Structure 1
């Protein structure tokens, strides 16, 4: 039985992780710590709050005293750190928040974990840090995918802040012996995602008849990972991963942005042709008027420092821990669309 502290558990990936874990490990206890910034929503966890094994705490990872008290009072043995500012565009316009939350906040968690788990009363523990493939920089069209030995080369304030936090986590392992693991994942998608990221933004804009902004030529390439495939990867790392190690979690699912936009347009148009109730529910959607949603596509000026391609080599977690993604866009995109249609 584990007692977990999940930071950022009211956000997109954190929420899905909480439901994944409660469903699979019914005897484990989960405490969520979340500051409820714009991308965190306590209502995401409404069903979890009915579970006696779950507790929500509204607080900030910048509050080291609070974190120490939670680890101590709830006998936490596993900390899964999702809490982060994560939107590249926001980091370009306002990098300070990203340094504060992602670097200083992570350091506060590490200090609290060291104090309770190592200094006060040494015990077996695990600090798992969620990171991103963006710390590795950008790939050319024919470059091999990022692996765990790829040198860091972050190109945005967001990526730089995550790279910094990765280094701090490693340093606390090497210097103090904190039992840590790190995972660097590719782009996630799925239920509960805040509609500033590409897939939920495209879905919600189509349903409301708003323009679909596509940066530049839209040929930027990303590897896409269904959120519960990510959570299964984290589960495997916590169960069988070696402390001090980093594991890349990918979806083996590279797509260009423009192809994703076109695919989502097609899926929604198909749904509207099959379910006429959607016409009444979403009258501003082009499909409600017999038009294809692709008419909403609008190419806009590319963002500053836009990485051209990310791709993750997940051979290490696959060969060492038995990981493989269970979803691709054929299954994952329709699931995601159905969730958004049901959450009007």
Structure 2
């Protein structure tokens, strides 16, 4: 599988002669027919693999978008335990996940930003929420701090952000490392929903992307969760807003996940065609131990769309120009309402 981030350092080392050991035996799949499909996908035989799934009755064509989403939700409801729903794009993932109940403000990663993008002020948007995993003496921003983008000066490559205590800082983003960028979004949750964390939590100790089930929601929105690995925990979204529904996830986010069965949504008319490719097919289908079902708008062209190769050459990134950092200590008495973090 090619590297998923910018550049392909491991592949380049292999090309240069680095010795490697290949793990060729597939052990996750317990269903013999499904294992055969995964083996075909691993060998790049995508068209044959999809035809094989179709012969097994695991490909369902439903042309209407809303009807297809409803069918996936209905299939999931039949046996929600240890079932994973995968969709290549965030829009359809949200549509599958969306349910009306408790509305909780969450932080959703801006997946459109690369590491290089985060060094350029123009790639940010006013209202973006930033989390700093590294402290900086130059900006005075501490490790673990949150801030919200208040203004952007593109010619000077400066960001002005407001920290939790109302203090503002203006700095050149190419001089501040370890920044994660999020958007505020409302999510609807209810008791019994599957949930996943989109960033690790320290208190309670829960790993990134760990899945769980909501057991209760109190009047203040605090959640009691039964995590698949960490057991019972209590989580306050105001203090840890990095959470999302755990029914459907993108194929990228599903890497490393395993479930007894997977339901895969593939819209061959998806605008972002690069999301439909052989890697998406392999990652999605291979998550399931016993079953994998594909829901698509066009079964006839499905194999061809998923046969797209996504091999990339290494990324060439423009070097940002350094600018002077100008910390500011302007205080404001107005504290925002986001997450109880003062954003």
* Interval of TM-score (by shorter of Structure 1 and Structure 2): under 0.3
TM-score relative to the length of structure 2: 0.25
Report which of the two structures shows the higher radius of gyration computed on alpha carbons: 2
Higher relative contact order (CA 8 A, sep 6+): 2
Structure with the higher fraction of residues in helix conformation: 1
Structure with the higher fraction of residues in strand conformation: 2
